[in-house]
């Protein structure tokens, strides 16, 4: 009900954020999705995270390199294969299931052509097309090894894992292509062979590189998928007519709802690998395109009997299914299209908590005055210019009871102008307005929750032009825990249903509330490092893991510790939500929060969450792939963290190759805090950094390309 309601009454909220913390918080930002988390409930955690060392002994260079499985893009030599494994490996190299579908559509085209059916030609046509398809898939995998290694769906492919070498792939592709085109040329006809060869070229030389350049790759890929029935038709009749093109058009149009739905579920993978897909870069276009081409399928289905390709029952039989697909695509927005990079702003909770004593502490109580002042400071002190755009009201803004007609009421003594006036004030500054509620009977501080009032509250927030809603989970119904505790399943060894979470939330909390202490920040860092294989793949444009607020500039962190939190949060592609008194923050902490270079890392449009790639005796290295990408090589942000407390800085020495930086062109390396330019370094270059206790050194390594002689099309067609 709420999903339909909010699409009708809103469109205002700019992002949706579900946060699961100690009380299973669901911070929802964005009115299009506001309160779509309807069944989010509370659940207590029962498991404590324990730090584990990855290495019991000092690692060798080889061990360190092995640890870089996420970021190191290399081919390994193929081990000896058993005879019974060879067929399986080559089946995987050919993408056997995909090739089978290509053959089936070729068979369909052959069977529907208005010409006599010849079994031998039918077999030759099917076999030849299958061999060419297998060759195309092998070449595709050859080109995409570095990117396949970044994707959960493809990281176990035979070239990525080294079960076959690139030479195997090329040899297999050349042999299969030659045999396939030869069979079609000599055993079928020239037209079928020409179409097959053209499709091989289109798939390997146009579509494959376009995937990393532009979303137009989907249209080109749809042509590739639509040609096989033409091959079958031509193989049977020796020519192409209107019937062939209608059949081709049906398959072309089908590619969009099929692939757009598939790519939607693989957004984190595509984002991490740097592929330009509609589902990643333009979710609303993704939905509209799927809807548009589903209509086209319906139209073509009725054209088929007109041209005597099939009978009217085909069109009538497909009508209910096409109608249902159209309904889903129209009513089920795949995403609200918001927060393509992690949101940035200011939040009241950690610094000001639930201080409602405006009589004795008027400057620090939760009131409209506080939020107006913070909005002003975001502008005048340069925070807004650096990207901080949200001003978010947290708990304790409400009256203790709803109005007689059930409406939420802002505390009239502390918010005398009302929330709409506060929203208008913040919007007048060019900023965005966020608010807090709870999917329970009460908020965590005991104010009215939204249960039983979802419709009214959604309409009210839309009327107030709220941009961001933080939806907490205190006092929720235990009876609905089956739907409300998905993030906490991790503690029971169960994979949370992140697919469902991402459909309802733009960001979500995974762990405890941050407290104003280094111990708290460390525990969050440990949680993200220890659980990164489960957590990181779910982060990407439009949906972010949230390690909680930045406490930089408060009382609990030293200068070095504050730098560490800011650096790690940027590596994690985390929301940057400050909770600090902007009136009194010391200059050195303000400088951290306004570090444009580190903010750029956090806001990198690829949206790939970084990972901890090394941990030993209190020393950690965190790495994140970022733009620019040159050829098959990412640039990287790297954080060297000293978790020791022995009172003296630690030296860390490592080669770029050991960090997964293997471009022979080298990397332009700079220190993002100290603004030190290391110049151009190469994979074999050893860098040495000195890191203070509980401190960090953060580097950016940008792939170097000689501007005069760029060695890759990717330099020209940069993301």
Spatial CA neighbour of 454 closest among 473, 439, 443: 439
Compute how many other C-beta atoms are within 10 angstroms of the C-beta atom of residue 636. Answer: 24
Go through 435-447 and write b for each residue having 16 or more CB atoms within 10 A of its CB, e for each that does not.
Answer: bbbbbbebbbbbb
Compute how many other C-beta atoms are within 10 angstroms of the C-beta atom of residue 492. Answer: 10
- Asked if 530 and 568 touch (Cβ cutoff 8 Å), the reply is no
Burial tier of 4 (Cβ tally within 10 Å: 0-12, 13-18, 19+) = exposed
- Asked if 320 and 362 touch (Cβ cutoff 8 Å), the reply is no
Q: How far is residue 24's CA from residue 21's CA, in Å, rounded to a whole number? A: 5
- Asked if 714 and 631 touch (Cβ cutoff 8 Å), the reply is yes
- Asked if 129 and 230 touch (Cβ cutoff 8 Å), the reply is no
- Asked if 397 and 436 touch (Cβ cutoff 8 Å), the reply is yes
- Asked if 514 and 521 touch (Cβ cutoff 8 Å), the reply is yes
- Asked if 234 and 196 touch (Cβ cutoff 8 Å), the reply is no
Go through 335-367 and write b for each residue having 16 or more CB atoms within 10 A of its CB, e for each that does not.
Answer: bbbbbbbbbbbbbbbbbbebbbebeeeeebbbb
Q: How far is residue 587's CA from residue 335's CA, in Å, rounded to a whole number? A: 39
Go through 368-387 and write b for each residue having 16 or more CB atoms within 10 A of its CB, e for each that does not.
Answer: bbbbbebbbbbeebebbebb
Q: What is the CA radius of gyration of the chain?
A: 28
* φ/ψ (deg, to 5) at 207: -65, -45
Q: Phi-psi bin for 382: left (phi > 0), alpha (psi -120 to 50), beta? A: left
Catalytic residue among 513, 516, 560, 581: 513
Rounded to the nearest 10 degrees, how much is the dihedral formed by the CA atoms of 450, 456, 461, 465? 170
- Asked if 356 and 414 touch (Cβ cutoff 8 Å), the reply is yes
Regarding beta strands 677-681 and 633-642, do their DSSP bridges make them parallel or antiparallel, or are they unpaired? unpaired
CA torsion sign, 337 to 340 to 346 to 347? positive
Compute how many other C-beta atoms are within 10 angstroms of the C-beta atom of residue 513. Answer: 17
Catalytic residue among 395, 472, 602, 604: 472
Q: Is 551 helix (H, G, I), strand (E, B) or coil?
A: coil
Catalytic status, residue 472: yes
Catalytic residue positions, numbered: 472, 513
């Amino acid at each position: 009900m709420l999903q339909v309601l909010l699409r009708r009454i809103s469109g205002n909220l700019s992002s949706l954020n579900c946060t699961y913390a100690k009380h299973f918080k669901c911070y929802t930002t964005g009115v299009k999705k506001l309160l779509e988390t309807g069944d989010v409930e509370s659940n207590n955690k029962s498991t404590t995270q324990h730090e584990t060392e990855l290495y019991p002994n000092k690692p060798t260079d080889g061990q360190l390199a092995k640890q870089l499985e996420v970021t190191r893009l290399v081919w390994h030599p193929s081990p000896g294969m058993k005879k019974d494994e060879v067929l399986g490996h080559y089946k995987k190299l050919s993408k056997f299931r995909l090739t089978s579908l290509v053959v089936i559509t070729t068979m369909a085209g052959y069977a529907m052509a208005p010409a006599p059916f010849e079994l031998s030609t039918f077999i030759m046509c099917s076999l030849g097309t299958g061999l060419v398809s297998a060759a195309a898939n092998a070449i595709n995998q050859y080109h995409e090894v570095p990117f396949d290694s970044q994707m959960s769906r493809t990281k176990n492919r035979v070239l990525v894992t080294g079960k076959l070498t690139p030479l195997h792939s090329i040899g297999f592709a050349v042999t299969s292509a030659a045999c396939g085109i030869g069979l079609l040329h000599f055993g079928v006809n020239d037209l079928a062979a020409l179409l097959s060869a053209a499709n091989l070229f289109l798939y390997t030389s146009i579509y494959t590189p376009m995937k990393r350049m532009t979303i137009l790759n989907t249209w080109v890929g749809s042509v590739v998928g639509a040609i096989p029935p033409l091959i079958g038709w031509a193989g049977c009749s020796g020519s192409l007519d209107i019937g062939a093109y209608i059949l081709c058009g049906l398959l072309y149009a089908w590619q969009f709802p099929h692939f757009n739905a598939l790519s939607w579920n693989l957004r984190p993978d595509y984002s991490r690998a740097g592929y330009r897909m509609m589902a990643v870069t333009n979710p609303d276009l993704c939905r509209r395109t799927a809807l548009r081409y589903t209509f086209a399928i319906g139209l073509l289905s009725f054209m088929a009997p007109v041209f005597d390709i099939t009978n009217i029952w085909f069109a009538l039989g497909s009508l209910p299914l096409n109608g249902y697909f159209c309904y889903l695509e129209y009513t089920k927005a795949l995403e609200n299209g918001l927060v393509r990079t992690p949101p940035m702003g200011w939040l009241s909770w950690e610094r000001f908590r639930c201080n409602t004593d405006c009589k004795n502490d008027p400057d620090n109580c939760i009131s409209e005055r506080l939020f107006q002042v913070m909005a002003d400071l975001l502008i005048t002190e340069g925070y807004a210019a650096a990207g901080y755009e949200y001003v978010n009201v947290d708990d304790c803004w409400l009256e203790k009871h709803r109005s007689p007609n059930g409406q939420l009421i802002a505390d009239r003594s502390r918010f005398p102008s009302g929330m709409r006036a506060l929203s208008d004030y913040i919007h007048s500054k060019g900023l965005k307005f966020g608010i807090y509620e709870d999917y329970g009977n009460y908020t965590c501080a005991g104010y009215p929750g939204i249960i039983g009032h979802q419709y009214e509250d959604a309409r009210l927030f839309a009327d107030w032009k709220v941009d961001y809603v933080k939806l907490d989970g205190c006092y929720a119904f235990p009876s609905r825990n089956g739907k409300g505790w998905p993030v906490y399943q991790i503690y029971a060894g169960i994979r949370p249903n992140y697919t469902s979470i991402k459909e309802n939330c733009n960001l979500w909390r995974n762990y405890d509330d941050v407290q104003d202490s280094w111990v708290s920040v460390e525990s969050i860092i440990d949680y993200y490092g220890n659980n990164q294989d489960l957590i990181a793949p779910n982060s990407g444009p439009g949906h972010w893991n949230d390690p909680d607020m930045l406490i930089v500039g408060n009382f609990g962190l030293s200068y070095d510790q504050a730098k560490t939190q800011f650096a790690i949060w940027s590596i994690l592609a985390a929301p940057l939500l400050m909770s600090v008194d902007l009136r009194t923050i010391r200059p050195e902490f303000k400088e951290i929060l306004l570090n444009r270079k580190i903010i750029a890392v956090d806001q990198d449009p690829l949206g790939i969450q970084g990972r901890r790639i090394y941990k030993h005796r209190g020393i950690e290295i965190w790495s994140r792939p970022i733009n620019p990408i040159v050829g098959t090589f990412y640039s990287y942000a790297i954080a060297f963290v000293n978790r020791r407390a022995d009172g003296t800085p630690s030296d860390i020495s490592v080669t770029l190759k050991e960090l997964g930086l293997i471009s022979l062109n080298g990397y332009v390396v700079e220190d993002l805090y100290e603004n030190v330019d290391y110049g151009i370094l190469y994979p074999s270059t050893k860098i040495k950094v000195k890191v203070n206790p509980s401190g960090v050194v953060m580097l950016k390594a940008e792939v170097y390309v000689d501007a005069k002689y760029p060695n890759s099309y990717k330099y020209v067609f940069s993301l």
